[in-house]
Amino acid sequence: MSPTWMVLDLETVGRPDVSEYLDDVSARSNLRDPEKIAADLAKKREEAVTNAGLDWNANRIVAIGYQTEEDAEPTVLLCQDEEREVYALRKVWHAYTDRSRRLVSFNGAGFDVPTLIQRSRLLRVTVPRIDQRKYGNSDQIDLYRLLTFDDTQRTFVIRRTLDNFTRLFGLDVPTDQHDGGDIARLVADGAWDAIAHHVRTDVVKTRALAERLDVLRVQVPEEAAVF
């Protein structure tokens, strides 16, 4: 059986207890005023908490979006708490393992998959075998690596984002007013519908980009097949 595919995207924020694991920060050495020192320390601590969403040892998953070859639309799983995160992890791993699939993502090999694995370990969710090699990987297709040639271009002027690549290739994809930098605020505001819309849109964009790069085997309805 030839591999089928599963497009994947997720969103994260810093875990609630992340401050317990942060290293001590130091104020800039040129500061002398106590108020300025205190403000600089507070700013650095805030930045560390904000960036925790990008560290799979310091984050938690708040949404997982995926679409398999058999699905007409993406599935979005929201994780308002750890119990629902455990449910989402189990569901996405089941969707991945129920057939011989390849994970298709945008920077999934560099972030999404390690995050899924580490959060699964921390929450005692069984992790299936998945190839994580950078080269010769039979389980994953990372569009970011394909489009950046493993970052071999030393000078670039266009940001290497999913949105920019869909625009660059002229793809007709849905738009979304939010980006990954808004997720922590949306979680704090309880704007879960907006988070779901953002993740769903990213899955659609990733699939469209993968089809444009001819890395997906798209099923053709029998009545549309040409022989």
CATH number of the domain residue 19 falls in: 3.30.420.10
Calpha distance 101→4 (Å, rounded): 5
User: What pLDDT does residue 2 have?
Assistant: 62
Residue with tokens 């050495």: 29
Beta bridge partners of 59: 14
Residue 47 has pLDDT above 70, yes or no: yes
Highest mean pLDDT among 58-67, 155-164, 179-188: 58-67
In this predicted model, which residue has the larger pLDDT, 154 or 131? 131
Q: How many CB atoms lie within 10 A of CB 176?
A: 17
64 neighbors 76 (Cβ within 8 angstroms):
yes
Segment 96-112 shows an average pLDDT of 93
Residue 215 sits at φ, ψ, to 5 deg, of -110, 0
When divided into structural domains, the chain yields a total of: 1
pLDDT tops 60 at residue 39 = yes
The torsion defined by the Cα of 72, 116, 213 and 172, in degrees rounded to 10, comes to 50
Confidence of residue 222 (pLDDT cuts 50, 70, 90): very low
User: Would you say residue 221 has pLDDT above 50?
Assistant: no
* Confidence class for position 226, pLDDT limits 50, 70, 90: very low
Residue 175 corresponds to which tokens in the numbers above?
């738009």
What pLDDT is recorded for position 102?
Answer: 93
Contacts 24+ apart (CB under 8 A), 116-119: 116/10, 116/61, 116/64, 116/89, 116/92, 117/56, 118/56, 118/57, 119/56, 119/59, 119/60, 119/61, 119/85, 119/89
- Most confident of the ranges 3-7, 121-125, 222-226: 121-125
Mean pLDDT, residues 182-208: 96
Give the domain extent around 207: 4-224
Using CA atoms, how far apart are residues 6 and 91, in angstroms rounded to an integer? 13
Average pLDDT of the residues in 1-6: 78
Q: How confident is the model at residue 41 (pLDDT cuts 50, 70, 90)?
A: low
Quick check: 153 pLDDT over 70? no
Note the pTM of the prediction, 2 decimals.
0.87
